Each structure stands twice: as structure tokens, then as C-alpha cells.
Amino acid sequence: MLEVLTGSGLAASAGLNAYIPLLLMGLLARYTDLMELPSGWQWLGNGWVLLILAVLLAVEVVADKVPVVDHVNDVVQTVVRPTAGGLAFGAGSTSETVTVSDPDTFFSSHQWVPVVVGVLIALGVHLLKSAARPVINATTAGFGAPVASTAEDATSAVMSVVAILLPVLVLAFLLGLVAFFFWFLRRRRSRRRERQAARAAGFRV
């Protein structure tokens, strides 16, 4: 169960920011004893990989905070974030962390399963983020983009740390994302009805 929560938290984190969970796992595995990556994923702790991830993270942090540019970035990230989610789930769920003592028993017979699960989780979070951002930009004249992006980056970082150190708390994050998803759907339907009512009133006038 802890392996599932660790992988899910890291994948969801990648859905918000592709590079934060991968960079965090690589840094922890390279410089601390909090995480030990399995043999197939030790490349995440390579110095050059960490440098590339850090540069990509810097580009992502800037691009995601500029209106219009953030939309283009989200289109590109439709491929990147699910891929990162698959890698994060695969590496995180089979790694040796301070909260997981027997990682080899998780998905041991189907090594591709955790990667696919991670891709789907990250894709779902990414699509929710991508759908919410234009609404935020439109309702705030673009001023909400930096605030929303900063909040997403912070959530990604916190969720990554929690997934590794306290995976039980990942449930709270996932439930929060589900609650936000349903709230967002209701909000969109409500705004659609308001626009339809306004158009109908305009026609009558």
C-alpha cells in the first residue's frame, strides 16, 4: 500500500510539474539516505541528468507563469508530464525509501504496470490543470497565472516530499484533487448557464 501511495503521489506531482519529483528523487538518492533507487532507475541520480532536470525546471517555472506562453507550455507538457509521471511512479514505487521496506514485492511480475499507472495519473492531473488555467487567466486578465503557477509548483514539491517521507498523507492530496475536479466541473457548468442566460436576455432586448 505504501508503494502505491508513494508512486501515486509522485505521479500526481509530475502532472503539475514534470521535473520537480524526478529532480527530488535524484537528489535524495544521490546525496542522502532517504531514498535508494533500484538498479534500473539509478540514472536519475546521475550528475548530468540532475543538471538537465534543473535547467528544464527553470525553463518550466518561467514559462508557466506568463499568460499565453503558459498555454503553449501546457500543450508541450501534454506529452512531457505523463511521461515524467510514468517514470516517477515506476522509480518511486520500486525504490527503497524510509517508509518502504519491501519494494521488490510491488508489481514484481509486471514491471510495465507502474509506468502505465503513473502516466494515467499524471495525465489526469495535467488535463485538469490545463483546463483550469485558461479560466483563471480569463477571470483575472492574466494576473492569476503567476499565482496559480506558483501554487502548483509548491504543491508539486510538497506532494513529492510527502510521497517519499509520509506516503499515507498522499491520500489527502489525492482526495483534494478529486474535490477540486468536481468543483471545477460545477463551476464551468454554472458559468456556461450564465453565459447562455446573458445571450438569451440580449436576444430578447
pLDDT tens column, 97-125:
544 545 555 555 566 677 788 888 888 88
Question: What is the C-alpha to C-alpha distance for residues 101 and 204, in angstroms, rounded to an integer?
Answer: 68
Q: Which pLDDT belongs to residue 112?
A: 66
Beta carbons of 84 and 21 less than 8 angstroms apart: yes
Q: Which pLDDT belongs to residue 24?
A: 92
pLDDT tens column, 46-81:
999 999 999 999 998 888 888 778 878 888 888 899
Q: Which pLDDT belongs to residue 175?
A: 78
**CA atoms within 13 A of residue 190's CA, in its CB half-sphere:** 7
DSSP letter, residue 40: G
The average pLDDT across 83-96 equals 76
Question: What is the C-alpha to C-alpha distance for residues 86 and 170, in angstroms, rounded to an integer?
Answer: 17
Q: Which domain holds residue 105?
A: 2-204
pLDDT tens column, 11-32:
889 988 999 999 999 999 899 8
- Mean pLDDT in the chain? 79
Question: What is the C-alpha to C-alpha distance for residues 136 and 34, in angstroms, rounded to an integer?
Answer: 37
pLDDT tens column, 182-191:
776 677 677 7
With a cut of 80, say whether residue 136 has pLDDT above it: no
With a cut of 70, say whether residue 147 has pLDDT above it: yes
Backbone angles phi, psi at 157, to 5 degrees: -65, -45
Overall domain count for the chain? 1
Residue 35's closest CA among 91, 101, 97, 100? 97
Q: How confident is the model at residue 155 (pLDDT cuts 50, 70, 90)?
A: confident
DSSP letter, residue 205: -
C-alpha cell at 175: 482526495
Beta carbons of 27 and 50 less than 8 angstroms apart: yes
